Amino acid sequence: MSDTSGSGDWHRRTLEHRGALFAVLSVAAIAVGSVVELVPMFTVDFEPEELEGISPYTPLEVAGRDIYVREGCYLCHSQWVRPFRSETVRYGEWSRGEEYAYDRPFQLGSRRIGPDLHRVGGKYNNAWHYEHMMDPRSTTPGSIMPTYPWLAEWKVDPADATASVTTLASLGHPYEASVLSDVPAAMRAQADEVVADLAASDITVEHDDEIVALIAYLQRLGRDGRAKIAAAEAAAGGEGSP
Ligand code: HEC
């Protein structure tokens, strides 16, 4: 194979043709990227007033979030509304840093095959989410999102959920002692509300079906931040008024 001249050649000859060197440099590049992502997660410390109005996910929402991660929803969905008009018109308020304080690990995502989900909480009712997860084409003609029928069959394991919540509590997420002492009971109380709401739309689910936890999680997304931003804007508006 004869080389042609040009700058693309330099890359091929000096790097790509030297397997060992290329492997070492690739590992170094990936290591730098990993450190840049990991360090803030362990070192960022919020002032207490910054976290006012932002609370950790409830146990049921934590269980739903674990399902979101397991199913790889982040491969198609971001959770990060950027501060551009094109984004805020479509998705709502841009995302603030403190909104991720209790997102471990964060679900920013790096691809948008589907829309951003950071402000999806409250956008649709629970029945819509159920139908959409069972068959996205039923709510959104032409959707390319996969179906997730097993979420209506598989059960949330209370031991797994307890382990997740306990771990988050050990990282400083402020949970009430009463919640920590009986995580399954806290999950049940919130799940019963979702089950009753779905029943009103003639959808029958059990309290421990995975879909219930996932819906609870999706309905929570972006809500604390939105309420906080609205309150801050009202206060700012109030100051200037006569
Ligand atoms: C292959 C890519 C893909 C995957 C994986 C995927 N989605 Fe989607 N999702 C989409 C697309 C495309 C849309 C837009 C069309 C639609 O509403 O179905 C969408 C829409 C949505 C919406 C509605 C958003 C809005 O504002 O209208 C929600 C909620 C959602 N997805 C949740 C999920 C969850 C939860 C998972 C994981 C269990 C998931 N998606 C996995 C591609 C994907």
Measure the CA angle with vertex 108, ends 104 and 112; round to 5°: 150
Pocket test for ligand 1, best of 77, 124, 131 (most atoms within 8 A of CB): 77
Q: Each residue of 55-87: b (16+ CB within 10 Å) or e?
A: ebbbbbbbbbbbbbeebebbebbbbbbeeeeeb
Atom of ligand 1 nearest to the CA of 75: 5
Residues in the chain: 242
Average pLDDT score, the chain? 92
pLDDT at 240: 43
Other C-beta atoms lying within 10 Å of the C-beta of residue 3: 11
Asked if residue 50 has its Cβ within 6 Å of ligand 1, the reply is no
20 alpha carbon, distance to own chain's centre? 38
Check residues 7 and 185 and name the one with the higher pLDDT: 185
Q: Whose CA is nearest to atom 27 of ligand 1?
A: 115
User: Range with the lowest mean pLDDT among 45-54, 66-75, 141-150?
Assistant: 45-54
State if residue 221 touches ligand 1 by the CB under 6 angstroms criterion.
no
pLDDT tens per residue across span 169-208:
998 899 999 999 999 999 999 999 999 999 999 999 999 9
* Whether pLDDT at 232 is above 90: no
Looking at residue 5, its pLDDT comes to 56
Under 8 Å between Cβ of 96 and 81:
no
Segment 207-213 mean pLDDT = 98
Tens of pLDDT, residues 89-111: 999 999 998 999 999 888 999 89
